[in-house]
Structure 1
Amino acid sequence: MTATVLNPSPIAKAYLDKVRKDVTALVEKGRRRPRILGLLGQEDGPAATYARYAQRGCEAAGIELDVEHVQAHEVEARIAAANIDPEVDGIFLYYPLMDRANDRWLRELVDPRKDVEGMHSFWARLLYENHRHVDAGHELRAILPCTPLAILKLLQHAGLPTHRVGDEPPLAGITACVINRSELVGRPLAAMLANDGARVHSLDVDGAITFEPAIGRRTFDVTDSGIDRAGALASADIVISAVPSRDFELIRGDEIREGAICVDVAEFTNFDQSVLERASVFVPRVGPLTVAMAARNLPRLLRLRSERA
Structure 2
Amino acid sequence: MASTTDSAPASCKVMLSKHVANRLVAEVQEGVKTLERPPHLVGFLANDDPAALMYAQWTEKTCHENGFRYSLREVPRDDLEQAILAANVDAEVDGIIVYYPIFNNRQDQYLQQIVDINKDVEGLSHRYIFNMYQNIRFLDPETKKQKCILPCTPLAVIKILEYINIYNTILPYGNRLFGHTICVVNRSEVVGRPLAALLANDGACVYSVDITGVQKFTRGDGLKKGRHEVVDLQGKTLKDVAPLCDVVISGVPGDSYKFDTSLLREGAVCVNFSSERNFGPEVKGKASLFVPSIGKVTIVVLLRNLLRLIQNSRLDDVKPAAATERPGTLEAAS
Q: TM-score range by the shorter chain?
A: over 0.9
**Secondary structure, in 3 states, of the residue corresponding to 2:35?**
helix
1:110 alignment partner, one of 97, 108, 115 = 115
**Secondary structure, in 3 states, of the residue corresponding to 2:88?**
helix
**Secondary structure, in 3 states, of the residue corresponding to 2:303?**
helix
Deviation at 1:105, TM superposition (A): 2.1
Return the alpha-carbon distance in structure 1 between the equivalents of residues 228 and 96 of structure 2.
30
User: Is the contact between residue 194 and residue 212 of structure 1 (CA under 8 Å) also seen in structure 2?
Assistant: yes
1:251 alignment partner, one of 259, 276, 288 = 259
Return the alpha-carbon distance in structure 1 between the equivalents of residues 261 and 71 of structure 2.
42
User: Is the contact between residue 235 and residue 257 of structure 1 (CA under 8 Å) also seen in structure 2?
Assistant: yes
Return the alpha-carbon distance in structure 1 between the equivalents of residues 129 and 167 of structure 2.
28
One-letter amino acid of the counterpart of residue 57, structure 1: T
1:206 alignment partner, one of 212, 221, 243 = 212
Query: Which residue does the alignment assign to 2:285?
Result: 277
In structure 2, list runs of 5 or more residues that go unmatched: 1-9, 317-334
Query: Which residue does the alignment assign to 1:60?
Result: 65
Return the alpha-carbon distance in structure 2 between the equivalents of residues 123 and 273 of structure 1.
38
2:23 alignment partner, one of 14, 20, 45 = 14
Return the alpha-carbon distance in structure 2 between the equivalents of residues 137 and 88 of structure 1.
27
Query: Which residue does the alignment assign to 2:311?
Result: 303
Deviation at 1:41, TM superposition (A): 2.4
1:34 alignment partner, one of 35, 39, 47 = 39
Structure 1's 120 and 92: CA in aligned 2 closer, same or farther, altered over 3 A? same
**Structure 1 stretches of at least 4 aligned residues deviating more than 3 Å after TM superposition:** 161-168
**Secondary structure, in 3 states, of the residue corresponding to 1:154?**
helix
Higher helix share: 1
In structure 1, list runs of 5 or more residues that go unmatched: none
Deviation at 1:300, TM superposition (A): 1.3
Q: What is the CA deviation profile of residues 49-76 of structure 1, one whole-angstrom value per residue up to 9, with x for unaligned ones?
A: 1111111222233111111111111111
One-letter amino acid of the counterpart of residue 244, structure 1: P
Does 2:83 align with 1:75? no
Return the alpha-carbon distance in structure 1 between the equivalents of residues 294 and 43 of structure 2.
20
1:221 alignment partner, one of 225, 229, 241 = 229
Map 1:130-149 → 2, pairs under 5 A:
130-135=135-140, 136-149=142-155
Identity across aligned pairs (percent)? 36
Return the alpha-carbon distance in structure 1 between the equivalents of residues 173 and 308 of structure 2.
28
* Count of matched residue pairs: 303
One-letter amino acid of the counterpart of residue 234, structure 1: P
Deviation at 1:97, TM superposition (A): 2.2
Does 2:297 align with 1:292? no
User: Is the contact between residue 261 and residue 281 of structure 1 (CA under 8 Å) also seen in structure 2?
Assistant: yes
User: Is the contact between residue 132 and residue 198 of structure 2 (CA under 8 Å) also seen in structure 1?
Assistant: yes
Query: Which residue does the alignment assign to 2:251?
Result: 242
Q: Which moved more, 1:237-246 or 1:40-49?
A: 40-49
User: Is the contact between residue 36 and residue 65 of structure 1 (CA under 8 Å) also seen in structure 2?
Assistant: yes
Cα RMSD over matched residues?
Answer: 2.0
1:158 alignment partner, one of 164, 167, 171 = 164
Return the alpha-carbon distance in structure 2 between the equivalents of residues 163 and 13 of structure 1.
21
Q: What is the CA deviation profile of residues 203-231 of structure 1, one whole-angstrom value per residue up to 9, with x for unaligned ones?
A: 11222111013612210111112331111
Return the alpha-carbon distance in structure 2 between the equivalents of residues 302 and 178 of structure 1.
32
TM-score, with normalisation over the residues of structure 1? 0.92
TM-score, with normalisation over the residues of structure 2? 0.86
One-letter amino acid of the counterpart of residue 199, structure 2: L
